[in-house]
Amino acid sequence: MEKERISNIQLFLHLSGFLFGSTVILSPARGAKNDAWLAILLGGAGGVLLTWVYAALATLNPSKTLVDILREKFGNIAGSIISVLYIWYFIHLTSLVMRDFGEFICTATFPQTPMIVVIGLFAIVLVYVVNSGIEVMGRLGELLVPVIPIVIGIISLSLITTHDFTAFLPILENGMEPVITAAFSFISLPFGETVVFLMLFKHLNKTDKLKKIVIVTAIISVIMGVLVFFRDISVLGSDLVTRATFVPHLVSLLIPGLNVEPLVDINLLIGGGVKISVCIYAAARAVSQVAHIDDYRKLTGAITTFCVVLSLWEYENQIEMFNWAEKVWPYYSIPFQIIIPLLMLLLSLRSGKRKSTAS
């Protein structure tokens, strides 16, 4: 199990798929209306820094997972307790993504299908993927993630005639405040969520380029985010962008003479699939390490089932989900995404220094 390896390009694609997983259906930072592009750039800058922190943490602690690092830095008991909190966080994140996915399919594609069928069938496939191991996940990413930019390209180019390129004006009509709020939530979703990759980084076959890969991926996803935002707003206008439930889906409905809605579904299946499988893998690995179970595969089925049930149970309705994702999730995530990783980084830097002075 320890011999499993993924290559640089596989990590790059997996990370991009992960960062794009939710943004393919929920347009990020739309609380800032026409200034969302500023929020994406600002939040993106923060996001790049944050992902750099995770990469630095992984390079300072080579061949260690998040659980190993936590135990080393905070001691066995405290480390295990924090690990359990992280496991909860990963499971919660999985259920959120599943619910996003289910809500989208039930709104846009299969309005009469019960959500449990949609999420359940998807979960069965993902359990199979996760059980096949990290190498299979990597290769699957290599195969599927390149489809996402192709689909985005197809949709954007088909709409080039209906663009109104001045729709994002005026700049900063409502001042800086909504921009900063939106930027902050953009940092935590999706960039902060890459904290789950701390469970995966040790499988990278060449760790020397880790920081570079992570930062390049983050920058690319910021650029994609800005481009997609300009496409959306110039096609829909600022008012409709803020009112639409799923912006990219609505955009795809507007292509003249063509029905390409399923393309958005494909993007979602790929992005969401990458995101959920990484989260389930991370949660299962973390549980197996904390509880000293030799094979994480024994746990994936149980964890996924739990996530499916949780995802159906956690919100009463769709608006509650959006509200929670926008107003509560970023703050709820602060300790997991920012405070604990930063603490670990500081501790790692100190012990690293001590080691170098000792030798």
Partner 1 sequence: MMCRKIKKRTDRVLIACLLVFLLFLTGCWSRRDLTEISIVAGIGLDRTEDGKIILTVQVVEPAAVQSTASGKGGSAQQKPVFAESYEGETVYDAVRGILSVVDKKMFFGSAQVLIIGERLAQDGIEEVLDYFIRDHDFDYEIYILVAKDTTPMEIFEMETDIDAIPSVYIYGTVDNTESRGTVKKTMLIDLIKEMSGNEKQFAIGSITKAGEMRVKTEGVAVFRDGKLAGWMDRYETRGYLFAMDKIKNAIINVPAGNGKIAMEIMRSKGKISVEFNNGELSALIVNVKVYANVGEYKGKGRLETPDSLYELEKALGEEIRKEITMAVEKTQKEYCSDIFGFGSYVRKYHPRYWKKAKRDWLAIFSELPVIVNVDAKAERVGIVMSPIE
Binding site for partner 1 (CB under 8 A): 107-108, 110-113, 117, 166, 169-171, 173, 236-240, 243, 253-254, 256
Residues in the chain: 359
N- to C-terminal Cα distance for the chain?
33
Long-range own/partner contacts, residues 353-356 (CB < 8 A, 24 or more apart)? none
* Nearest-approach distance from CB 351 to partner 1, in angstroms: 51
Q: Residue 125 Cβ, how far from partner 1 at the closest point, in Å?
A: 12
Give the residue with the Cβ less far from partner 1, 256 or 358.
256
Nearer to partner 1, 59 or 242 (CB): 242
Q: Please, what is the minimum distance in Å from the beta carbon of residue 212 to partner 1? A: 40
Which candidate, 268, 17, 264, places its Cα nearest to that of 119? Answer: 268
Q: Closest distance between partner 1 and the C-beta of residue 20, in Å?
A: 24
Sign of CA dihedral 303, 306, 311, 314: negative
Between residues 27 and 238, which has the closer beta carbon with respect to partner 1?
238
* 65-89 core/surface letters (b: 16 or more CB in 10 A; e: else): bbbbbbbbbbeeeebbebbeebbeb
Supply the minimum distance, in Å, between the C-beta of residue 110 and partner 1: 6
Instruction: Name the region of 175 (left: φ>0; alpha: ψ -120 to 50; beta: rest).
Output: left
| Cα–Cα distance measured from residue 274 to residue 282, given in angstroms and rounded to the nearest whole number | 12
Q: Which helix (H) or strand (E) holds 265?
A: helix 261-290
CB of 182 to partner 1, least distance (A): 19
DSSP assignment of 64-120: --HHHHHHHHH-HHHHHHHHHHHHHHHHHHHHHHHHHHHHHIIIII-TTS-HHHHHH
Question: Which is closer to partner 1, CB of 266 or CB of 310?
Answer: 266
Supply the minimum distance, in Å, between the C-beta of residue 257 and partner 1. 8
Residue with smaller CB distance to partner 1, 111 or 359 = 111
Q: Please, is 220 exposed, middle or buried when counting C-beta atoms within 10 Å of its C-beta (0-12, 13-18, 19+)?
A: middle
Amino acid code (one letter) for 319: I
Q: Which is nearer to partner 1, 239 or 295 (CB)?
A: 239
Structure tokens at 102: 């289910």
Pick the closer one to partner 1 by CB: 107 or 351: 107
User: Looking at beta carbons only, is 156 or 221 nearer to partner 1?
Assistant: 156
Task: Tell me how far, at minimum, the Cβ of 253 lies from partner 1, in Å.
Answer: 6
**CA nearest to 196, candidates 26, 29, 25, 18:** 18
